[in-house]
Amino acid sequence: MTTDTGYTAKDIQVLEGLEAVRKRPAMYIGSTNRIGLHHLVYEVLDNSIDEALAGHCKNIEIMLYKDGSVSVTDDGRGIPVDKHDSGKSALEVVLTVLHAGGKFGKQAYAVSGGLHGVGVSVVNALSETLSVEVRRNGKTYAQTYHIGKPLSDVKVVGDTDKTGTMIRFKPNTKIFETVEFEYNYLKERIMELAFLNAGLRIKMSDERDGNEQEFYYEGGIKEFVEHINKARTKLHAPVHFKKTKDNNEIEYALQYTDSYSESIYSFVNNIKTVDGGTHVSGFRTALTRVVNEYMRINKILKNDKKMSGDDAIEGLAGIISIKIPEPQFEGQTKAKLGNSEIKGIVDSVVYDSLMTYLEEHPTEAKRIMQKIISSMEAREAAQKAKELIRRKSVFESSILPGKLSDCIEKDPSKCEIFVVEGDSAGGSGRQGRDRNYQAILPLKGKILNVEKAPMHKVLTSEEIKAIVLSIGAGFGEDFDATKARYHKFVIMTDADVDGAHIRTLILTLFYRHFKPLIEKGYLYIAQPPLYKIKQGKSIQYAYSDAQLQEVLKQTGEKVDIQRYKGLGEMNPEQLWETTMNPETRTLKQVTIEDAIVADELFTILMGDEVAPRKEFIEQYAKQVKNLDI
Ligand code: 0RA
């Protein structure tokens, strides 16, 4: 009670200020639920931490009491107690005037923590009782409050050679939904603060159940990273770096593990920036740059490949803790740093120091680079797998390809499809066929060699897609031969080297992807004639050299022999008569006598290895006839 001078206008203002806090507590501490309740402790704690940041405080102690009160004690300089202009002790002003802290030298703090930073007067306003003890100038000063009102002036209660502040308060039950402090809830933040402020000792004890713990980390955020990674397989000892640049203290610690997740936590003036901000983007940029630059210098990557930021950060645990004079927090929750100048500062500090680390630790660097490359490879593989699934679904559609000229009949056992090389032969085939039961699918030249191509290429090939959709029986694991839309698949290619090559490519596709169709005996090779022998108005066809000789024996003189080089040289009627008409044509059925031999053969003929193919060709070269080049 202000006994001697009575109430002044200033006193009334003070009381109105604290009354405003009690009317709208959420405006000052966020809420009146358990989060707001614990916020009171953090508010006091932040002031002690500020003392620690300024280098004046080494020990903090938090006590939870049976009477529901909590105290925070530090060995900082102690709240000033000298007389203020109003004639009151500075201590009383700090505890009763909103945002009064700054008036008493708090502006001298280079950096200040506290999310709301509303000051201890808010805690006082929301407490039933609050008592404060300050050790300073060789004395202990004390004062007690009830609902924010002092019960007496600040009094000297003893001598001391120590300095520091003790604030004990009991939250007002009329304001808070709950007034029960939770040890474990407080513990998380206290531990975090101890990690973030290396060498600061924070003790917490709970009188209610005897719980007691001390948090002290000599190594600070380096130990924080070790703590995060304790259950993981580490690739190296943590990297830790701290540097002050233009009043900004930039500190980080990181350690790669073999895990797939990233654990990056960032802080500004001890406040967790859940939504990151400029310091985090500076860190990420630097990390990606360092990794790519290191790989480039050491020629770790072929063909100028670049690691993405995601590749570089996979499996990384990291703490970025910066302490800056004027943080600007953005976003809904004010948990994102907005200061634009910080990005570049963090970027350059992290880049330089991390590059130096890698250069000085080649063994660790190698392990880290290997991890990043395997992350990159896994990401690429996953991307391809995703693409595969997407493509497969395209393969499973029931839409017929545009270039298929389908037949009218729908009963597969009566239907035939001619897979034809080239658009012009396709045209003749389309005109010459019996459209009731014969379909034509023209292919553009050489289709993909499925023996050599990776699956994602197979699935992106337009020609193969057209074949798959024409067959209509799905693809890969889902292939179901009983759904085939035709029971005769006829490969019809030119009788030259290119035609033979295309035929082999199509055979390879069927063997590797539609083997059941071959096993069912559905696959055929058309036998177009090699020669047309014309004598007057009569035309005969020869399908082999032997046959030509036979025909020539019968016809004698004056014949006109035409060697067919391509199907396109035949008109639609001739193609029908010689190759497509079931009455006159010969089809060669493709069979698999010995699957293992066939498998080997396709691997040799169509695969990657050149040597076995060469050997095979040399062995069989003598048997090859009619090689027209
Ligand atoms: C105002 C000014 C100074 C320190 C403090 C407040 C202060 C507040 C709290 C609350 C809990 N512990 C605290 N410790 C200090 C600066 C003091 C100076 O310049 O000596």
Mean pLDDT over each residue of the chain, to the nearest integer: 89
- The pLDDT of residue 25: 94
Position in ligand 1 atom list of the atom nearest CA 76: 14
Question: Which residues, listed in sequence order, are joined to residue 372 by a DSSP beta bridge?
Answer: none
Nearest CA-CA partner of 90 in 81, 100, 78: 81
Q: Sign of the CA dihedral 351, 355, 357, 363?
A: positive
Helix (H, G, I), strand (E, B) or coil at 335: coil
Ligand 1 binding pocket includes 74 (Cβ within 6 Å) = yes
CA–centroid distance, 68 to ligand 1, in Å, is: 25
Looking at residue 407, what DSSP letter applies?
A: -
CB contact set of 541 (below 8 Å; sequence gap of 6+): 529, 531, 532, 533, 578
Ligand 1 binding pocket includes 442 (Cβ within 6 Å) = no
Q: Are 271 and 325 in contact (CB under 8 A)?
A: no
- The pLDDT of residue 500: 83
CA–centroid distance, 474 to ligand 1, in Å, is: 76
Question: Pairing state of beta strands 271-272 and 336-337?
Answer: unpaired
Q: In angstroms, rounded to a whole number, what is the distance separating the alpha carbons of residues 566 and 493? A: 8
Could you give the C-alpha distances from 97 to 17, 41, 92, in angstroms and in order? 7, 18, 8
261 compared with 310, residue with greater pLDDT: 310
608 compared with 57, residue with greater pLDDT: 57
CA–centroid distance, 104 to ligand 1, in Å, is: 8
Position in ligand 1 atom list of the atom nearest CA 136: 20
Phi, psi of 377 (to 5 degrees): -65, -40
If you write DSSP's letter for every residue of 176-207 in order, what string do you get? Answer: -S-----HHHHHHHHHHHHHHSTT-EEEEEET
The percentage of the chain sitting over the pLDDT mark of 70, rounded to a whole number, equals: 90
Question: Pairing state of beta strands 149-150 and 139-146?
Answer: antiparallel
CA–centroid distance, 218 to ligand 1, in Å, is: 25
- The pLDDT of residue 393: 78
- The pLDDT of residue 596: 56
Tens digit of each residue's pLDDT (9 = 90 or more) over 164-204:
999 999 999 999 999 999 999 999 999 999 999 999 999 99
- The pLDDT of residue 119: 86
- The pLDDT of residue 112: 60
351 compared with 7, residue with greater pLDDT: 351
Nearest CA to ligand 1 atom 7: 79
User: How much is the average pLDDT of 281-290?
Assistant: 98
Ligand 1 binding pocket includes 99 (Cβ within 6 Å) = no
Ligand 1 binding pocket includes 73 (Cβ within 6 Å) = no
Q: Using DSSP, how many helices (H) and how many strands (E) does the chain show?
A: 20, 24
CA–centroid distance, 47 to ligand 1, in Å, is: 7
Active-site hit among 352, 496, 569, 600: 496
Ligand 1 binding pocket includes 56 (Cβ within 6 Å) = no
Give yes or no: 206 in active site.
no
Ligand 1 binding pocket includes 454 (Cβ within 6 Å) = no
CA–centroid distance, 5 to ligand 1, in Å, is: 27
Residue 59: its H or E element: strand 59-64
12 compared with 411, residue with greater pLDDT: 411
Ligand 1 binding pocket includes 103 (Cβ within 6 Å) = no
- The pLDDT of residue 620: 62
Among 356-370, 568-582, 587-601, which range has the highest average pLDDT?
A: 356-370
CA–centroid distance, 221 to ligand 1, in Å, is: 26
Ligand 1 binding pocket includes 76 (Cβ within 6 Å) = yes
- The pLDDT of residue 3: 44
Ligand 1 binding pocket includes 104 (Cβ within 6 Å) = yes
Active-site hit among 92, 314, 494, 577: 494
- The pLDDT of residue 107: 52
User: How much is the average pLDDT of 599-607?
Assistant: 68
Question: Is this prediction's pTM over 0.75?
Answer: no
Nearest CA-CA partner of 514 in 487, 488, 483, 475: 475
Ligand 1 binding pocket includes 199 (Cβ within 6 Å) = no
Give yes or no: 594 in active site.
no
Give yes or no: 421 in active site.
yes
Return the best residue to mutate from 165, 168, 193, 202 for the ligand 1 pocket (most ligand atoms within 8 A of CB): 165
Give yes or no: 498 in active site.
yes
Q: Is residue 18 over pLDDT 50?
A: yes
- The pLDDT of residue 172: 98
Edge-first strand order for the sheet with 488-492 is 438-443, 416-421, 488-492, 523-526, 587-589
- The pLDDT of residue 387: 79
Q: Sign of the CA dihedral 272, 273, 276, 282?
A: negative
Q: In the chain, helix, strand, coil percent, each to 5?
A: 45, 20, 35
User: How much is the average pLDDT of 568-588?
Assistant: 92
The residue written with tokens 């003893």 in the block is 158
The percentage of the chain sitting over the pLDDT mark of 90, rounded to a whole number, equals: 66
How many CB atoms lie under 10 A from the CB of residue 150?
A: 21
